[in-house]
Structure 1
């Protein structure tokens, strides 16, 4: 029988060695640690992920307000969240139940409807459809559950009424309902925003009070309630829909960093008040902004790039690689240089995988043997990568480790030696494919031209023979012609990687 007590005590001592949480506002959940640590904005540090069931977790992402097309700032957020979800599922075997809320009733949607003389429901439906097409083109997995505000009006009304009945909210003369932040002492725990105690209007009691329900205004959509006509406020929507699906507590609640305050702060306050609990979401996941020239990319600043326009220039894999090479919590600076760097890294992996195929099937090599050095390096990378992912999903370190592993394997593949090590080389390639595909990369070649791969192979091989002979004869004119062919192929989105043995090529975009 295995004595698990020492193992449990080591885990417990590690958890207890964490510095004190910020004013003890983050409460460590009861349950089972899964070995992963994630940054928590309330604790202001990495905290252990503890689940009620060690293999099941709930995850809610704030979805878009569907009044306009999504841009690559949104793409960055949802691709990074997709990566984190895939890590939990693929590397830590968590059965993740995912949900996303769609705001299809909002001031901006109503304004767009009026400006275009279109029914607000049609506006919302069209842009939501476009949003899902964009996410599919980026290989972002669709959530298991999609909740739309328009489908949950009664749930929201019941939620609001409960807060009014419990004296946590109040009704104003215009039929609006506000959450009374003075009744909730923990308000501000996500971002330390406290009430000044001075009302900003004749209706609101406190400056930081926020609308749960907006009173009716002529010309706007409305629903009847016991306190009058109106429509939901923004923050109440997610709380009501999440509570409907997941109950009184959720494991992960995610969105962009701009939602931390006031949206997530207000969600936490009203949900804790509704469920009479001290902590509603155990782990808040916030993704950093995508900046352009040091400025947040946003529609209001008119510095956005649409997702279809991005994919005309770069592949979805290239954009995902750029996301993998950055920390999900920090801002990312969009530029052609950043994208070209990500593309080069992606191509390095593709070239390596093609080189492995050539190496393994090279009939000139001798009998296969093992390279203990490469196998040892592979094992070290596997262990280090798992630890990196356990530490707040450090994908950038994983990518760097994989690149170093490629360098080690290439010393065998491209080295001037008769030693032949197909087994460790193939295991290395398989591990790299496994990790990258678990991150959501497809590693598929795409091209808009109609040239077949067979024809490209023929051209590349012919150029290689000509170039090899030219190098032996030191024929500068012929070598220059080979360079011209290489450059023209690159213009046709075919990038050639020259080698002393067999050259390889990949499609670019």
Structure 2
């Protein structure tokens, strides 16, 4: 962490910017990565260009910790986790990741009053719960975590510079507002007629937004040079990001609901503070999680599902697969059909891994050979997947390509005729495993299930032997008994997949 000041000084001089196709987005000078990403300012995909081709800064807006997270939050952070993993593992970019935690806010104060609890205790409780939820979903923790209550001094300094430069003004109630009339580019991310905040007699313009909220009796406050109060929501991220990353930020991420007013106001005040035309080069916005068609999942609509409740019905891998087969930018509808599809896709891969390794170790007199057509398919899928990921992180196409590849190999695994091709089969299994684990899937059974897995292996192998004998003798009673065992196993969350060369199984939720 002591290296950050040096790194920050370098970032301050990174980007000489130029217009991109007559939009308000400015293309940085530097090293192209080959990746193209949608940018809301340009309203199109733009090339990702970094000062150092293999180093980038990333800031995610974290939660306001006044209540438990729900699966709408989960879908956002899982999808951002997937994008980060892609940048790091497929494109060899060292991401310096940070996340801001809003631990002082109207909602936190309200929850504290309702529960007769200090606002700091409320914030700590729900932040701890948030990180536990993220861990259960295999979301990697950011390298840097900034909390508003721990950065009041840098927030004060940020606001004071805006006041001194006449970009902000102190209102009669002690609040400080950004003067949007002094910033012609306001609305760069999303044009709007209002600031997104309630109108106030203290504001000069309807679009002005609060940097600092004047003190109210009975609420926590800090004493700063212009009076008592507490930070406004938007200023927090700008001040904390500037502290750790300097005047230029590569990636700024959050849910689509943050595009306006939160990200718009961040960009505005940060450009004014740093006297720059562009602060964040790449905005990444994740689509909402919907229920019942177009209805957004939110606490205000009282239609939320907690993350522990989700994991009672589905594994973290199944939920992540649902995110992978969706586009991160667009709404994802949470329903039984989506989760069943995600579970089926995940199980297809799990069955393939078991069948592939059993095939390689099959007791046979056949000698190994190469299947050059399969090797060629593998090579083409690898190339196609890199192109898909370069094109705004198209994970859905990647997963589809993997399924097609697995289907081709399954024809070999389940064929009664032909040669024996362990090398291309193993190479394919290794590649599919590597891609899926890079996306953040775990693909492993819990350690405590090893003994029970061994017993299930024995039962499935025994059933397979009985089933083959029944097929040879055309014994319908024995085949019916085998079907009953299969169905019983499924009722105990064990799904069996039969073939002439063997039976395999996977755990299901």
Match of 2:64 in 1: 65
Q: Which residue of 1 aligns with 2:481?
A: 481
Q: Deviations over 1:116-141 (max 9, x none)?
A: 00000000000000000000000000
| TM-fit CA distance, 1:482 | 1.2
Q: Give, in angstroms, the shift of residue 417 of structure 1.
A: 1.4
Give the TM-score of the pair, scaled to structure 2.
Answer: 0.94
After superposition, where does 1:161-172 map in structure 2 within 5 Å? 161-172=160-171
Greater shift, 121-130 or 363-372, is seen at: 363-372
Give 1:477 shift: 2.3
State the alpha-carbon separation in 2 of the partners of residues 208 and 415 from structure 1.
68
Contact 2:177 2:203 in 1 (8 A): yes
After superposition, the C-alpha distances for 1:64-103 in whole angstroms (9 at most, x for unaligned) are 0000000000000000000000000000000100000000
Whether the 8 Å contact between 2:286 and 2:328 is mirrored in structure 1 is yes
CA distance in 2, matches of 1:105, 1:23: 40
1:451, CA displacement in angstroms? 5.9
Tell me, yes or no, if structure 1 residue 254 matches structure 2 residue 250: no
Aligned mates of 1:52, 1:432 — CA distance in 2: 32
Residue pairs, 1:291-370, within 5 angstroms: 291-294=290-293, 295-370=295-370
TM-aligned CA deviation for residue 472 of structure 1: 2.3
Distance 2:462 2:201 in 1: 81
Counterpart-to-counterpart distance in 2, 1:296 and 1:23: 34
Task: Give the conservation status (yes or no) of the 8 Å contact 1:446–1:507.
Answer: no
**CA–CA distance in 1 between the matches of 2:380 and 2:451?**
41
Whether 1:77 aligns to 2:85 is no
Task: Give the Cα separation in 2 of the matches to 1:119 and 1:291.
Answer: 34
The match for 2:239 is 240
**Distance in 2 of aligned mates of 1:195 and 1:420:** 68
- Given that residues 60 and 253 in structure 1 are in contact (C-alpha distance below 8 angstroms), is that contact kept between their aligned partners in structure 2? yes
Cα offsets for 1:11-39 (capped at 9, x unmatched): xxxxxxxxx95742000011110000000
After the TM superposition, which of the residue ranges 335-344 and 130-139 deviates more from structure 2? 335-344
Q: 1:93 to 1:356 in 2, by over 3 A?
A: same
Match of 1:41 in 2: 40
Quick check: 302-311 or 415-424, which moved more?
A: 415-424
Q: 1:210 is matched with which residue?
A: 209
Query: CA deviation digits over 1:371-407, x for unaligned, max 9?
Result: 0100000000000000000000000000000000001
> Is the 8 Å Cα contact of residues 38 and 392 (structure 2) preserved in structure 1?
yes
Q: Deviation at 1:447?
A: 9.1
Give distance in 2, aligned partners of 1:447 and 1:108: 41
* Cα distance in 2 for residues equivalent to 1:173 and 1:201: 11
CA contact (8 A) 1:40 1:284 kept: yes
Q: Which aligned pairs between 1:71-220 and structure 2 lie closer than 5 A?
A: 71-194=70-193, 200-220=199-219
State the shift of 1:195 in Å.
5.7
CA apart distance, 1:448: 8.2
**Counterpart check, 1:427 vs 2:427:** yes
Could you tell me how far 1:469 is from its partner in structure 2? 1.8
* Alpha-carbon distance in 2 for matches of 1:100, 1:62: 6
1:39·1:46 contact (CA, 8 Å) conserved in 2?
yes
Take 1:480 and 1:447, find their aligned partners in 2: how far apart are those partners? 34
Partners of 1:66 and 1:124 within 8 A in 2? yes
Supply the distance in 2 between the matched residues of 1:150 and 1:279 (Cα, whole angstroms).
Answer: 27
Mapping of residues 267-278 of structure 1, within 5 Å? 267-278=266-277
In 2, Cα distance between equivalents of 1:244 and 1:219: 30
- Higher alpha-carbon deviation: 186-195 or 393-402: 186-195
SS of 1:498's partner is strand
State how far apart, in whole Å, the 2-side matches of 1:226 and 1:454 are.
Answer: 68
Q: Which structure 1 residue ranges, 5 or more long, are not aligned?
A: 1-19
Corresponding residue SS for 1:143: coil
Structure 2 match to 1:24: 23
Q: Which residue of 2 aligns with 1:14?
A: none
Deviations 1:400-438 (A, max 9, x none): 000000011111111121401111110000100110111
Specify the alignment match of 2:494 in structure 1. 494
Cα distance, 1:458 vs structure 2: 1.1
Mapping 1:333-482, distance limit 5 Å: 333-446=333-446, 452-482=452-482
Deviations 1:311-336 (A, max 9, x none): 11111011000100010000000012
**Kept after mapping to 2: 8 A contact 1:157/1:225:** yes
Q: How many pairs align?
A: 488
Cα distance in 1 for partners of 2:21, 2:296 equals: 29
Superposition RMSD in Å = 1.4
Contact 1:447–1:507 (CA<8 Å) still a contact in 2? no
**Stretch of structure 1 that moved more, 21-30 or 53-62:** 21-30
SS, match of residue 25 in structure 1? coil
2:324–2:396 contact (8 Å) kept in structure 1: yes
Are the aligned partners of 2:20 and 2:27 in contact in 1 as well (CA < 8 Å)? no
Q: Deviations over 1:444-471 (max 9, x none)?
A: 1249878612211111111112222222
- What is aligned with 2:9? none
* Secondary structure class of the residue paired with 1:244: helix
Give the TM-score normalised by the residue count of structure 1: 0.94
Q: From the superposition, tell whether residues 79 and 365 of structure 1 become closer, same or farther in structure 2 (CA, over 3 Å).
A: farther
Say whether the 8 Å CA contact 1:170–1:180 is kept in structure 2.
yes
